[in-house]
Amino acid sequence: DGQIPLHTFLNDRSEVSLDQIESVAKEYNIAPWLALKTAHEEMVRIDRDCFIAKGLISFDVAAIDDSIADVCEGYPRPFGAFANLSDFPAVPGFSWNEYLLEAFLRRLSVRFRLVSPSVPARDVSGAVVPRSADLPCAEDAFAAIALRCGVAAEAEEVGEFLVATQCVLRRSTKTVGAVVSRMKELEKR
């Protein structure tokens, strides 16, 4: 496994920066996206540029899931719907932000998951989906969200919506096309 040096580096530290992760990845010829994915597996991202060891943070999983449920109201929601995290239960020693929420959704949430058409990136995007929802991929979740928000199944409108709601960071013809196609299928039902 070419990532063993990165795993070792991460496991030997209580805190690492994104720059350090990228530097180790470059040194050992590990793709940046794979290095970031590994960092998410080994540590908890607390802000855009910092990851900490799992044992340094504790979450009240049930209470946080309840707060997420209040925002979702039983439906998948774009990540941008979580811009205000002030009502979320306190995490001792840390302030809520989108990166901490991303880490919680990827690692600990019992009732929700974060879906995205791509691997973890420098910035957060995707949809927060109840685990009970039958939405196997990000495009299905995005289509359900867009329809619920009254977005027309047209490429330009869908692309703008996906970026504006933080479902995606950048438009991709492939993702927008898949979402539009799925929306049209859902409208026929």
- Tens digits of residue pLDDT in 85-135: 999 999 999 999 999 999 999 999 999 999 998 777 778 999 999 999 999
Q: What angle do CA 31, 173, 156 make, to 5 degrees?
A: 140
- Tens digits of residue pLDDT in 23-45: 999 999 999 989 999 999 999 99
Cross-strand partners of 43 = 53
Single-letter amino acid code for the residue at 70: D
Confidence of residue 1 (pLDDT cuts 50, 70, 90): low
DSSP the chain: -TTHHHHHHHHT-SEEEHHHHHHHHHHTT--HHHHHHHHHHHEEEEETTEEEEGGG----HHHHHHHHHHHHTTS-EEGGGGS--TTSPPBTTB---HHHHHHHHHHT-SSEEEE-SS---SS---EEEETTS---SHHHHHHHHHHHTT--S-HHHHHHHHHHTTS-SS--HHHHHHHHHHHHHHHH-
Question: Model's pTM, two decimal places?
Answer: 0.91
Q: What angle do CA 158, 160, 162 make, to 5 degrees?
A: 65
Residue with tokens 């898949």: 178
121-153 in b/e form (b: 16+ CB < 10 A) is eeebbbbbbbeebebeebbbbbbbbbbeeebeb
Whether 43 and 53 have beta carbons less than 8 Å apart is answered as: yes
The per-residue pLDDT for 22 is: 94
The per-residue pLDDT for 2 is: 74
pLDDT, the chain, mean = 94
Beta-carbon-side half-sphere exposure of residue 60 (alpha carbons within 13 Å): 12
